[in-house]
Structure 1
Amino acid sequence: MQDTDTMSALTIEKLNHSVTTSNGKLDILKGINLHIKDGESVAIVGASGSGKSTLLGLMAGLDQHSQGSIRLYGEALESLDEEGRAVLRGRYVGFIFQSFHLLPSLTALENVMLPNELKGNRKADDRARELLQKVGLSHRMDHYPRQLSGGEQQRVAIARAFASAPKILFADEPTGNLDGKNGILVEDLLFDLNKQQGTTLVVVTHNPELAGRCDRQIEIHDGELKES
């Protein structure tokens, strides 16, 4: 296998994706070509229903695309089954969801420990404590998600996403459920951790301020890309 440090983070060629509905075939993404460099930050913007979140999920290997090629650090996602994509995600990918997706039965510390515990990393506790301190939640480690505000839950989700030091981080509307103050705090955390760890950052957002902080902005309109 090639050294991932010398490769592109993500290369997409002639990507099409469609789903079958009660009204027939629905084309969601059409002829997508995209190249993202290692360490780059890219914002994907566009109207609701334009295909942004679908594209993000396909790039992260959460779903299988219909046609074309997606290469994540040199690995062709279309050549992998669901288990193979899961292994690849574990190796390279972090993901932040708009709705946080924290496990309610685990404390903040346990949620952040989970990715490394699943890998058998004996230093999962130390890494989780370090990240929760970085996101300003060292005093909330033993609290459960229901005891945390929305902004605090999203900070826990960010810490969890960075816990396994992913090479690429996908974030789907990471500030969408937050007020202005917490939204700015989360933005700052994303870019600070991105710079500290050299992580490639791909963000779907309606937030023009967040998009403007990225190296590039890519717009989706009716399933087609337009770089701005």
Structure 2
Amino acid sequence: MTTQTDVIIQTQDLKQEVPNREGALVILKGINMAIYSGESIAIVGVSGSGKSTLLGMLAGLDTPSSGHIHVAGQDITQMDEEGRALLRGEKVSFVFQNFQLLPSLTALENVMLPLEVKGLANPDKQAQSWLERVGLSDRISHYPQQLSGGEQQRVAVARAFASESAILFADEPTGNLDTTTGDKIADLLFSLNKEQKTTLVLVTHDPHLAARCDRQFEMTAGELVEVTA
């Protein structure tokens, strides 16, 4: 277990409702949770349980119907989209199931892009260094369509960690990969998580992947419960 005690993400009575013909579809039912700096947590649950919706809320990609979300001490529910985007640029990185690489950019350019947006020095050298760390030193000039699924996800992992963000959100990061490749990507995620002291928030269907996290939460019909041994 992590020894960190600082809360980096906290929700208070978080709710999300979507109007429909019957009145309202309740997706999140008063979520209260605290995530500590440097730890890894998994959010598990069946499809449609609300876990990806919750992840989007925590990342400031969507806004709740009611409740509050504090990220790095700031209430993002009180921000406009520009404010949330600025916070994401400073504090957050993502790894998605479908990689989300830009097809017109090489592996190197995909990793460089967020570094350039942040205005970091020597983005090309930093991006190349991270691609080397994930085992892609011979693929830096390749475009996504020239890479295997596992290689594309390695580029995505390099891009996420190269940004030096405090929080990494991963949505089914091994969902499109075979078991062997998925295990390698998971090893990479967790080793870099510990090395960089990044807070890892993981949504997954995979119980083995979830079990590797410091803590697990299960989402059922919009309600979140911490899983205890």
Provide the C-alpha distance between the structure 2 equivalents of 1:8 and 1:15, rounded to a whole number of angstroms.
17
1:67-109, CA deviations, whole angstroms, 9 ceiling, x for partnerless residues?
A: 1110001010111000000000011101111111100000000
**1:31 positional shift:** 0.9
Correspondence for 1:19: 18
Which deviates more from structure 2 when the two are superposed, residues 110-119 or residues 12-21? 12-21
**1:53 positional shift:** 0.4
Correspondence for 2:103: 104
CA contact (8 A) 1:11 1:70 kept: yes
SS in 2 for 1:138: coil
SS in 1 for 2:138: helix
Matches within 5 A, 1:116-127: 116-127=115-126
1:40 partner amino acid: E
1:99 partner amino acid: N
1:150-185, CA deviations, whole angstroms, 9 ceiling, x for partnerless residues?
A: 111111011111121010100000000000111001
CA contact (8 A) 1:220 1:226 kept: yes
% identical aligned pairs: 61
Correspondence for 1:74: 73
CA contact (8 A) 2:5 2:36 kept: no
Query: How many residues in Structure 1 have an aligned counterpart in Structure 2?
Result: 224
CA contact (8 A) 1:7 1:73 kept: no
Matches within 5 A, 1:105-144: 105-144=104-143
RMSD between aligned residues: 1.2
1:181 partner amino acid: T
1:41 partner amino acid: S
Matches within 5 A, 1:34-183: 34-183=33-182
Provide the C-alpha distance between the structure 1 equivalents of 2:192 and 2:131, rounded to a whole number of angstroms.
12
Question: Runs of 5+ in structure 2 lacking a partner?
Answer: none
Question: Runs of 5+ in structure 1 lacking a partner?
Answer: none
Tell me the TM-score normalised to structure 1 length.
0.95
Provide the C-alpha distance between the structure 2 equivalents of 1:24 and 1:155, rounded to a whole number of angstroms.
44
1:193 partner amino acid: L
1:106-135, CA deviations, whole angstroms, 9 ceiling, x for partnerless residues?
A: 000000000011122231111111110111
CA contact (8 A) 1:65 1:78 kept: yes
Cα gap change, 1:113 to 1:222, in 2 (>3 Å): same
Matches within 5 A, 1:203-214: 203-214=202-213
Provide the C-alpha distance between the structure 1 equivalents of 2:34 and 2:121, rounded to a whole number of angstroms.
36
**1:6 positional shift:** 7.6
CA contact (8 A) 1:7 1:74 kept: no
1:185 partner amino acid: K
